[in-house]
């Protein structure tokens, strides 16, 4: 047989238990593939497809928005595994936060939600004849989503824990997994602390040699740690569980005298002391509570103490263990809820996962099996009422042409179990209220006589024990009446509660707080005694509350099927599978789904969601006041039914265009027309039509988004262009202003420099003239005649001007200490002074050493002369104005000899 374990049967997913691990069928990659697929229904049937459909229904906000998945089937069909895989799927797809901080928060929430599974399975699941991991309680997990469809938390609600399994296990069955985990997974120190030595035998721990996958202690401890249960609290929990195991080894010997209490057996005394020590209970009050019963009677509430028989002692011992374990399980559920539940204001929608016990039929069936099968009957009736009967009746009311399909209705069986005024539950509750000993044979007689006319009630004449048979939708089940009334009463002696309130154990103090009001309520007088709620009554009330929640959601069904009763892989027994399919009504479901319309939306919701598709309606000849235009303009969210009809017709007219657009190029020439019908108040359509409408709506929204994006980009481009032009104008104005300011500063600086230069020239000329005035007057007084008295030729006049202008260089060369000497020096002087070439003898030049008549205001330089020139930082400081031809100015003014000038 190929590894194909899922198929669709109408609106129901049929899941076949492979009885072997198939890792590739539940990998994270496959989860993302179903989540990212544009059309998940076109992929292979899978539980991830159902999960994705519910998630997209929440996103589409089609009423009812809240979704629920009902996982049903026989015990061992794989319901727990299916629920676990669905939770893993939602944890992957419903967590897409935008920031890193929100991602860490979402990751922590997902981890806590996933860690609640191993804890609840360890404390609430057990190995039975049909299933190694059978849920012995029902649970409804509410996955809470916020407005953006992200998982923000979860809540767990449990139903009817099979607490009798703590003290009683059928043949070849086991106790809850947690007891085997602490016995196999505890280390040496923990064994010593919890008094669990290797190889110890416990009466309430049958078949300890079997090793199951669920016996992993470390997984449970790690999950509890993630849920906020620290190591000391865990140690306290496991110590209490070890105390319950030792409590199960307590045995009483029959006293033989009703006036004397039963005594402990010798081999049970050690277990008694160990149990009292682990539970932190005083030994004497504990033993007295188990041996002696307290009775209050009379108006004065006189107290009588009566020793219990051996059976009563065992019953009180079992009651003590069941009471502690039930309170512990409820406390764990409350801790899990406080850890994973979100604030009511932070979530708006939810997806519910219902995992209840499967249909059970054992050789010995009692009240637990009756309640479990009753719950399965209610869920089957919900399926029948919601899908098989309600759909067909709705088609007729809405005016659709429909031929009814016959189906198996289990309402008769429900009337037998819970009907009014007389039913099995009412008769059992009545026996509990009667103040008389209950007889199994008498209860059988009452049930058979009062309900003899029911076709679902039978009797096994070959049975030696009192019993009755109920024909359920999945088959007949025989229930034994022995102990049925006592289990329904579930009596808890008040002295047991008071004893547990005296415990010094921190956990038991939390589980059994000392409440005076509760104590007074547990001991009412005989005249004003309030009827105590029985197990059946409480279970029925919680089941009704669950169904009310399911009725407010869009249900989805997963039917888990066992291919064989032995749990063997690759073994498919056709008869067993077919009987399960027929029992749960899947054959009729296929017929109705093939001819019906699973999607039903009210006119108002349909128009509100798909009014956009009117844009795709083919354009007719435009009229200024056409009816369609009027309808388009007059539509409002609170429009009346007559107003909605034109809008509905416009939307329906757009379906052919959507069908043609959705047709593949390589497909047939004409696509299959959309199957949609308009009823009186609702629109009926198939899944393919809904997919077509959603695809068209997405296209219109995409076009609108593109139009908005185009307008926004155009507006942004124009705005940026205007901003750029304004920036260019501002930059040009600023640059012009900066240039003008710079030129003004340069002009002002040049003016200042020029003025300072003129002042400096005038000051230097004034200083030079003041120095030379006295010397010139002295020498001119000794001269025989002035220079003007001797007129000079033009050549001499030019030579005199050249000498005056270029005297510094000649002076340097003539007075140099090193360099050329003699005639060469004179040639250099002549060349520098640019003298005429008439002959060197005509213009003799004397050196400073030879000349005697030279007079100067400063001493002649000694040694070599160096000129140090530095460029001024001022721009115009190095530009010297052109001097006049015959003016002699400078730092030093040399007065040449008058007689030499006169001779020349």
Q: Cα-flanking dihedrals φ and ψ of residue 263, to 5°? A: -100, 160
> Which pLDDT does position 103 carry in this prediction?
61
Which token pair is 101?
């901080």
483, 428 contact by CB (below 8 A): no
* Nearest by Cα to 799 from 693, 886, 695: 886
Sequence-separated (6 or more) residues with CB below 8 Å from residue 565? 130, 573, 576
Instruction: Classify burial at 884, counting beta carbons within 10 Å of its beta carbon; exposed 0-12, middle 13-18, buried 19 or more.
Output: exposed
> Which pLDDT does position 826 carry in this prediction?
61
Report which DSSP code applies to 788: G
Distances (CA, A) of 153 to 131, 173, 250, 340: 30, 35, 44, 5
Residues facing residue 74 across a β-bridge: 359
Residue 870 CA, chain-centre distance (Å), reads 78
22, 606 contact by CB (below 8 A): no
CA distance 271 to 276: 9
Sequence-separated (6 or more) residues with CB below 8 Å from residue 784? none
CA distance 378 to 410: 9
CA distance 162 to 156: 17
Evaluate the CA torsion angle 156, 158, 164, 169 in order and state its sign. negative
CA distance 469 to 473: 13
Low-confidence ranges of the chain (pLDDT < 70): 1-2, 95-106, 298, 300, 390, 402-406, 515-532, 594-595, 616-642, 662-674, 773-904
Helical segments of 249-351, H only:
269-279, 283-291, 310-340
CA distance 891 to 184: 116
* Nearest by Cα to 153 from 99, 96, 221, 95: 95
Helical segments of 227-282, H only:
231-248, 269-279
Residue whose structure tokens are 């050549």:
795
CA distance 226 to 340: 11
> Which pLDDT does position 649 carry in this prediction?
78
CA distance 48 to 13: 11
In which region does residue 863 sit, left (phi positive, over 0), alpha (psi from -120 to 50) or beta (all else)?
A: left
CA distance 591 to 640: 36
- Residues involved in catalysis: 75-76, 80, 131, 134-135, 358, 360
Residue whose structure tokens are 């764990």:
332
Report which DSSP code applies to 358: P
590, 673 contact by CB (below 8 A): no
Maximum alpha-carbon separation in the chain: 182
CA distance 778 to 892: 18
578, 29 contact by CB (below 8 A): no
Element (H, E) at 759: helix 687-782
* Nearest by Cα to 611 from 657, 662, 656, 652: 652
CA distance 293 to 278: 24
Instruction: Classify burial at 177, counting beta carbons within 10 Å of its beta carbon; exposed 0-12, middle 13-18, buried 19 or more.
Output: buried
In sequence order, what E strands does 416-473 have?
457-458, 467-472
Which token pair is 729?
């104008």
Element (H, E) at 554: strand 554-561
> Which pLDDT does position 617 carry in this prediction?
61
Q: Cα-flanking dihedrals φ and ψ of residue 262, to 5°? A: -75, 140
> Which pLDDT does position 779 carry in this prediction?
52
């Amino acid at each position: 047989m190929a590894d194909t374990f899922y198929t669709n049967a109408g609106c129901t997913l049929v899941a076949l238990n492979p009885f072997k691990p198939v890792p590739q069928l539940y990998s994270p990659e496959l989860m993302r593939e179903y989540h990212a697929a544009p059309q998940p229904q076109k992929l292979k049937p899978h539980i991830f497809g159902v999960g994705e459909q519910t998630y997209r229904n929440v996103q589409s906000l089609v009423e009812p928005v809240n979704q629920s998945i009902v996982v049903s089937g026989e015990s061992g069909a794989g319901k727990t595994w299916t629920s676990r895989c669905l939770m893993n799927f939602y944890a992957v797809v419903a967590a897409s936060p935008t920031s890193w901080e929100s991602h860490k928060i979402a990751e922590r929430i997902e981890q806590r939600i996933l860690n609640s599974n191993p804890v609840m399975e360890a404390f609430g699941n057990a190995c039975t004849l049909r299933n190694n991991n059978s849920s012995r309680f029902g649970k409804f997990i509410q996955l809470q989503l916020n407005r953006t469809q992200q998982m923000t938390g979860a809540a767990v609600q449990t139903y009817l824990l099979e607490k009798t399994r703590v003290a009683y296990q059928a043949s070849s069955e086991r106790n809850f997994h947690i007891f085997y985990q602490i016995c196999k997974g505890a280390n040496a120190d923990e064994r010593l602390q919890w008094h669990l030595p290797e190889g110890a035998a416990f009466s309430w721990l049958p078949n300890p040699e079997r090793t199951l996958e669920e016996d992993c202690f470390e997984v449970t401890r790690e999950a509890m740690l993630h849920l906020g249960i620290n190591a000391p609290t865990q140690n306290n929990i496991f110590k209490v569980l070890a105390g319950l195991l030792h409590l199960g080894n307590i045995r009483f010997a029959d006293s033989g005298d009703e006036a004397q209490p039963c005594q402990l057996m010798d081999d049970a005394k050690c277990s008694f002391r160990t149990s009292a020590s682990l539970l932190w209970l005083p030994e004497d009050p504990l033993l007295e509570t188990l041996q002696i019963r307290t009775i209050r009677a009379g108006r004065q509430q006189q107290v009588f103490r009566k020793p219990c028989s051996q059976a009563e002692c065992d019953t009180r011992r079992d009651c003590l263990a069941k009471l502690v374990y039930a309170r512990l399980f409820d406390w764990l559920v409350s801790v899990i809820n406080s850890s994973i539940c979100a604030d009511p204001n932070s979530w708006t929608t939810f997806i519910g996962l219902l995992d209840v016990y499967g249909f059970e039929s054992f050789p010995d069936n009692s009240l637990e099996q009756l309640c479990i099968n009753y719950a399965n009957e209610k869920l089957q009736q919900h399926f029948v009422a919601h899908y098989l009967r309600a759909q067909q009746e709705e088609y007729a009311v809405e005016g659709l042409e429909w031929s009814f399909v016959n189906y198996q209705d289990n309402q008769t069986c429900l009337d037998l179990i819970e009907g009014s005024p007389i039913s099995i539950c009412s008769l059992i509750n009545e026996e509990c209220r009667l103040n008389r000993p209950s007889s199994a044979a008498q209860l059988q007689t009452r049930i058979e006589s009062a309900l003899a006319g029911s076709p679902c009630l039978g009797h096994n004449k070959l049975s030696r024990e009192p019993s009755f048979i109920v024909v359920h939708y999945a088959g007949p089940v025989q229930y034994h009446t022995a102990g049925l009334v006592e289990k329904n009463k579930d009596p808890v002696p008040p002295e047991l509660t008071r004893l547990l309130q005296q415990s010094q154990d921190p956990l038991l103090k939390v589980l059994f707080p000392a409440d005076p009001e509760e104590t007074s309520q547990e001991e009412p007088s005989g005249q004003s005694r309030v009827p105590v709620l029985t197990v059946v009554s409480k279970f029925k009330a919680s089941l009704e509350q669950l169904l009310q929640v399911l009725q407010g959601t869009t249900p989805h069904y997963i039917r888990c099927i066992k291919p064989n009763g032995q749990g063997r892989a690759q073994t498919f027994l056709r008869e067993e599978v077919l009987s399960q399919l027929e029992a749960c009504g899947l054959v009729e479901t296929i017929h109705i789904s093939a001819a019906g319309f699973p999607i039903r939306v009210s006119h108002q919701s349909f128009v509100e969601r798909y009014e956009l598709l009117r844009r795709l309606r083919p354009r007719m000849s435009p009229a200024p006041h056409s009816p369609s235009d009027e309808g388009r303009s007059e539509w409002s969210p609170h429009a009346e039914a007559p107003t909605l009809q034109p809008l509905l017709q416009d939307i329906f007219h757009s379906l052919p265009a959507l069908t043609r657009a959705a047709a593949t190029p390589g497909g047939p020439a004409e696509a299959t027309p959309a199957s949609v019908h308009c009823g009186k108040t609702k629109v009926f359509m198939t899944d393919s039509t809904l997919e077509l409408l959603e695809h068209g709506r997405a296209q219109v929204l995409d076009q609108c988004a593109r139009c908005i994006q185009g307008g926004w980009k155009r507006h942004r481009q124009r705005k940026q262009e205007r901003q750029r032009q304004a920036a260019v104008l501002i930059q040009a104005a600023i640059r012009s202003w900066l240039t003008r300011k710079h030129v003004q500063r340069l002009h002002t600086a040049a003016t200042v420099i020029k003025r300072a230069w003129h002042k400096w020239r005038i000051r230097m000329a004034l200083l030079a003239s003041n120095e030379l005035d006295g010397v010139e007057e002295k020498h001119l007084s000794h001269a025989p005649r002035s220079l003007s008295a001797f007129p000079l030729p033009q050549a001499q006049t030019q030579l005199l001007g050249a000498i005056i202008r270029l005297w510094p260089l000649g002076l340097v060369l003539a007075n140099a200490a090193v360099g050329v000497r003699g005639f060469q020096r004179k040639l250099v002087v002549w060349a520098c002074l640019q003298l005429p070439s008439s002959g060197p003898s005509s213009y003799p030049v004397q050196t400073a050493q030879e000349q005697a008549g030279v007079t100067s205001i400063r001493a002649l330089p000694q040694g070599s002369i160096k000129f140090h020139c530095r460029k001024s930082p001022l721009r115009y400081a190095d530009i010297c104005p052109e001097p006049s031809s015959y003016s002699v100015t400078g730092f030093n003014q040399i007065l040449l000899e008058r007689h030499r000038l006169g001779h020349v």
